[in-house]
């Protein structure tokens, strides 16, 4: 099981890769940082040749999911994952919770301190499957819907 969810897709293109890349460039505010900014474009990100990394420009939820992709002859391979700053913040939160349990175990004794281990595991499960999973799914649908709507395609294959 992964702590951070990812999704992989392969999409067949309607037009040539060059036209699709130009269309993506027209609708993307080019930026080195994948952070939300006010813009009239649909996406914010980097496009280098056939490779791209984009986030949705929507304020609030747009920066949570990053779409990384590669244009090939007649398709696009996409990987959607949680943006790196959010991974760092969630990891720090988890480490602090584990550190608190360890500190408590040394302070009041191991049997009583490790009694907090079950609530910690419940907290991490709640964080991963409820909050992180639903937030990732919502953000993914937003950016993926904009991407497939822009290129006027539908996903054809989900890679395992």
What CATH number did the domain enclosing 32 receive?
A: 3.30.310
Answer yes or no: is 126 within a domain.
Answer: no
Tell me, yes or no, whether 46 lies in a domain: yes
Residue 89 lies in a domain: no
Please give the pLDDT value at position 160.
44
The structural domain count of the chain equals 1
Q: What is the pLDDT of residue 155?
A: 65
Q: How many CB atoms lie within 10 A of CB 94?
A: 16
Residue range 18-31: mean pLDDT, rounded: 89
CA dist., res. 47 & res. 38, Å (int): 19
Q: What percent of the chain has pLDDT over 90?
A: 11
Question: Is pLDDT at 14 greater than 90 in this prediction?
Answer: no
Of the pLDDT bands very low, low, confident and very high (cuts 50, 70, 90), residue 106 is confident
Structural domain harbouring 60: 6-83+138-158
Q: Does 32 map to a domain?
A: yes
Within a domain: residue 52?
A: yes
Name the burial class of residue 63, with classes exposed (0-12), middle (13-18) and buried (19+) by CB atoms within 10 angstroms of its CB.
Answer: buried
Tell me if 90 is assigned to some domain.
no
**pTM of the full predicted structure?**
0.79
Residues 63-85: tens digit of each pLDDT: 889 999 999 888 889 999 999 98
Q: How confident is the model at residue 80, as a pLDDT? A: 92
Q: Please give the structure tokens belonging to residue 20.
A: 């699709």
């Amino acid at each position: 099981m992964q702590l951070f969810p990812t999704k992989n897709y392969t999409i067949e293109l309607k037009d040539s890769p060059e036209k699709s890349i130009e269309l993506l460039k027209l609708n993307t505010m080019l930026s080195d940082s994948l952070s939300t900014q006010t813009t009239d474009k649909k996406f914010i990100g980097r496009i280098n040749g056939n490779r791209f990394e984009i986030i949705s420009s929507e304020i609030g939820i747009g920066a949570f999911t990053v779409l990384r992709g590669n244009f090939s002859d007649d398709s696009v391979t996409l990987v959607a994952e949680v943006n790196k700053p959010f991974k760092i913040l969630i990891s720090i939160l988890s480490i602090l919770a584990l550190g608190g349990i360890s500190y408590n175990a040394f302070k009041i004794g191991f049997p009583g301190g490790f009694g907090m281990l079950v609530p910690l595991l419940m907290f991490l499960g709640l964080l991963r499957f409820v909050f992180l999973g639903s937030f990732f799914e919502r953000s993914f649908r937003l950016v993926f819907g904009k991407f497939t709507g822009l290129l006027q395609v539908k996903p054809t294959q989900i890679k395992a």
